[in-house]
Structure formats: structure tokens, C-alpha cells
Amino acid sequence: MSTDLHTLSGAYALDALSPDEARAFDRHLEECQACREEVRELRAAAARLGESEATAPPASLRARVLAAADQLPQMPPRVVPLEVARRRRSMRLVAAAAVVALAVGGGAVVWQTQRDDQQSTVASPVTQVLRSSDAHTKTVRTQHGTLVVATSRSLGRMAVETQGLQPLGGKRVYQLWAVHGGEMTSAAVIRSLGSGAAMAMPSAGTTVAITVEPAGGSKRPTSKPFVMVDPRAV
């Protein structure tokens, strides 16, 4: 891939990259603090947009659009080099996000468009929580950097966005634990800072802790938690 990875942050934040591009960008995020911050800010903006109230389109709009489409001639396909198409797609995605922000702010009708390759995109579990209509988020600063905790009661899930944490290298990972009654149970191993982790909303009285563990994770914590969060206080 010869595309400048720095230009893919907008498409990555919208979960619009191909699997190969997403894996390459995940590796890039582990080394690029600027891109981690940019993706975090873009996803936070998308989550705030999700809280806005959508306006239903009038029933006559679909018929008018279809009638107008019938009157337009079919244009022959244009062949565009793959690299140029990728750059254009990333630019269109970022521009589309800006248009959505303006439309929601003005109370206009927002339409969801298909991707250029006509494939539907399924948001990651972390993104689903961040974009839920009742999402609550909290930024937590730690000795290893910053993380964002998000909860959604409608989804019954919580998520931890870890792009702001410092990379640990190949021999250590961050691990999430559910702490209840003094017992710590593994909840997730953070294998990619760009992906974070999502889990079912813990029960009352359960907090979530994060430790640094050997690669692959541990059955029991081998270090003291560097952060503990009560999801129900987010």
C-alpha cells in the first residue's frame, strides 16, 4: 500500500477502510500519537452527532427522487486508477462527515449513502457504543496516557477506547478486568490500541480495572491496576 497512512484517519474513524487498510492503520496508530488523537476526536464528534434527533423525510420525497432519476441518462463508467480512487474515497468520506455535522446542526434530513464499493460497513463494537443515542463518555488520564470510557444503557454495553494510551511493544499488552467483591476476572485483552475493547455493562458494584500484562494476557493480574473506573458513574 503506497497511500500515505496519515490521510486515512477520517475513513478509519468512520469504519470505512477495507480489512487490509484497517490492519495497516492499526499498526500505524501504535507509532503515531497525532493520528491517535485525530481518530479519537473524530469518533467523539461522531458520537455527539448520534445524540441529535433525526428528522423523518416527507413521504413524497422518495417518489420525487425516483422520478428525477428516470429522466437522467445513464453515463458510461469511467476507469480510474486504484490509488486515485482510494484517495478520492477518503476525501469524500471526510467531506460527507462534515456535511452530516452541518445538516444535523440545522435540523435537516440526513440520508445515509452507500460506500463506493457498494458494501455495507458494520461498525466495531466500540464504535457502536460511542455512536449510540444515549452514549455517555468520560476521558481518563493515566500514567500510560489517556483513554475514553463510554457506556450505553440502551445497548447494555460499555467500551474502552485506548488510542490515547502509549504503545507497550510486542512483549506486553493492556488487559481489562472486572472487579467485584475483591475478585478480578479478565474481561478483555487489548491486542490493538486502535480497536480498544467492548463488553457487557457490568452489574452494580463492579468496577473495571486495567493492568499491564505479558503478551497474550494473564489469567490473574501480574501488576497493580493503573486505573479503575466505575462504569455506572460515567
Least confident of 19-28, 48-57, 173-182, 212-221: 48-57
Q: Enter the pTM of the model.
A: 0.51
* Most trustworthy range by pLDDT among 26-30, 111-115, 156-160: 156-160
Place of cell 468520560: 138
What pLDDT digit, counting tens, does each position of 17-71 carry?
A: 787 888 888 888 888 888 888 888 887 776 666 555 555 666 666 666 666 655 5
DSSP state for residue 61 in the 8-state scheme? H
Residue 107 predicted with pLDDT over 70: no
Q: H or E element: which one contains 165? A: none
| pLDDT value, residue 140 | 94
Residue 162 predicted with pLDDT over 90: yes
More confident residue, 90 or 194: 194
User: Above pLDDT 90, what percent of the chain?
Assistant: 35
Q: For the CA atoms of 62, 57, 92, 82, what is the dihedral angle to 10 degrees?
A: -30
Q: What does the alpha-carbon distance between residue 142 and residue 221 come to, in Å, rounded to a whole number? A: 18
Residue 163 predicted with pLDDT over 60: yes
As given in the structure block, the three cell numbers for residue 8 are 486515512
Q: Where are the beta strands (DSSP E) in the chain?
A: 136-142, 145-152, 157-161, 172-180, 183-190, 197-200, 207-214, 227-229
More confident residue, 94 or 124: 124
| pLDDT value, residue 25 | 83
| pLDDT value, residue 28 | 84
Residue 97 predicted with pLDDT over 80: no
| pLDDT value, residue 228 | 95
Q: What does the alpha-carbon distance between residue 57 and residue 109 come to, in Å, rounded to a whole number? A: 6
Residue 108 predicted with pLDDT over 60: no
As given in the structure block, the three cell numbers for residue 217 are 494476557
Determine phi and psi for 218, rounding to 5 degrees: -130, 155
Q: Identify whether the C-beta of residue 202 lies closer than 8 Å to the C-beta of residue 231.
A: yes
Least confident of 30-39, 102-111, 125-134, 164-173: 102-111
**Where along the chain do its domains lie?**
5-105, 125-233
